[in-house]
Amino acid sequence: MPSRQSRLQEDTYYRVLRLLQDNPDLTQRELASQLGISVGGLNYCMKALMEKGWVKMQNFARAKNKFGYVYVLTPSGVAEKAQLTKSFLQRKLEEYEALSHEIEALRAEVKAQHGSPPDQGSQT
């Protein structure tokens, strides 16, 4: 079973690849902002993705950022994104199932203690 740290790293890679596939001319600052991580953390991630050969930086005269480059997913990056998407989805479905079971157990506990199920619309 992968460690929590490796799952977080995999999730970050997936989210970066997903954003870059749709918006290759985002700056690192914009990417970091959309991902909710620091620019330094994103820079570290981008270097790792480039070292793996999943992303490359390409000059592009019409890029919206002032440096005139875009981040392009390589063919291996596209393939890896597909694998990460599958893994991410599986993990999220497992989390959803676990959360659904926990919610049902809590509802049963509240019903046993109070005699009626809680209002599903309330947040208390």
More confident residue, 105 or 3: 105
Exposure string for 68-94, b = 16+ CB within 10 A, e = fewer: ebbbbbeeebeebbeebeeebeeeeee
Report the CATH number that the domain containing residue 75 is assigned in CATH.
1.10.10.10
Global confidence as pTM: 0.72
**Among candidates 48, 35, 36, which has minimal Cα distance to 6?**
48
Residue 9 domain flag = yes
pLDDT in tens, 60-82: 665 555 566 788 899 999 999 99
3-state DSSP call for residue 17? Answer: helix
Residue 120 within a domain: no
Domain ranges, residue 92: 4-114
pLDDT at 7: 85
As for how many domains the chain has, the answer is 1
* Mean residue pLDDT across the chain: 87
When comparing pLDDT for 66 and 56, which is higher? 56
- Is the residue at 122 inside a domain? no
pLDDT in tens, 9-31: 899 999 999 999 998 888 889 99
d(CA 77, CA 13): 10
Does some domain include residue 119?
no
